[in-house]
Amino acid sequence: MKQPLYGNFGTVEIDDQIDSMRELLRLYPILDSKRVGIWGWSYGGFAAARAVQRDHSSNRTFQCVASVAPVSNFKYYDATYAERYMGQVGADAYERTDLTQDVRPFHNVSFMLAHGSADDNVHYQNTAEFVRALTEENVQFELMVYTDDSHNLSTVRWHLYTMIVQFLKKCFNGSKI
C-alpha cells in the first residue's frame, strides 16, 4: 500500500473514491446524483477536501463536503508520518498535496470546515492557512472552530455531529452554502 501512495498522497486513493461513487451512481439509478456528500476527519478531512480538487467532471460527484481537522499541508504534520510517505520536507510532493494551492473548485460545492484550536495532532495552522486561501479566493463556506479543544473533539462531539447533519440536510435540500 505504501508504494502507490509514496509522494502521491491525495491522488490514487482519492481518484478511487470518486470512481467508486460514480460507479455506484451508475449501478443504482435510484441514488440521487445531485445529493451526494463526502466528509472526513484528520486524513479523512484532507481526503474529503482533496476530492473537490481531484473531481474534474462537469457534473460534480460530491456536492456537499465536510472536513474536520484536515491536514491542509503535510509540512505542518507529524514528520515521522509525513516523511515516510512524502519524503523530506521541501520535496515536490508537499507542494502537490497542499490544499491551499488551488481552492477555486470549492466555489462549486457546499463546504464545511471544523477544527479544534488546541489540536496537537493536526495543528490548527492547517485550517488557518486553508481558511486564508478560501477567503482570498472569495469561496463561501461554513467554519466552526472549537476553542481549546483537541483533535478528538470529545467535549463537543455531539455538537459537531449535529452540525454536520444540519449542514448536509441544508445542502441536500438545494441550499448553496
CATH code, 62: 3.40.50.1820
Catalytic residue among 42, 67, 72, 110: 42
Segment 94-128, tens digit of pLDDT: 788 899 999 999 999 999 999 999 999 999 999 99
**Residue 38 within any structural domain of the chain:** yes
> Is 117 designated active site?
no
pTM: 0.92
Domain that holds residue 87: 2-172
Q: What is the mean pLDDT of residues 133-151?
A: 98
Catalytic residue among 98, 119, 123, 149: 119
Q: Per-residue pLDDT for 2 more than 60?
A: no
**Residue 177 within any structural domain of the chain:** no
Q: Which residues pair with 111 in a beta bridge?
A: 65
pLDDT at 177: 53
Which residue has 471544523 as its cell numbers?
114
Say if CB 99 and CB 69 are below 8 A apart: no
pLDDT at 176: 56
> Is 42 designated active site?
yes
pLDDT at 24: 98
Total count of domains within the chain: 1
The phi and psi torsions of 8 (rounded to 5 degrees) equal: -130, 25
> Is 151 designated active site?
yes
pLDDT at 9: 83
pLDDT at 5: 76
- DSSP assigned state of 99: G
Q: Per-residue pLDDT for 91 more than 70?
A: no
Segment 53-78, tens digit of pLDDT: 999 777 889 999 999 999 999 888 87
Of the chain, the percentage scoring pLDDT greater than 70 comes to 95
Catalytic residue among 15, 107, 151, 159: 151
**Residue 93 within any structural domain of the chain:** yes
**Residue 105 within any structural domain of the chain:** yes
pLDDT at 113: 99
**Residue 81 within any structural domain of the chain:** yes
Confidence of residue 89 (pLDDT cuts 50, 70, 90): low
48/171 Cα distance (integer angstroms):
16
168/157 Cα distance (integer angstroms):
17
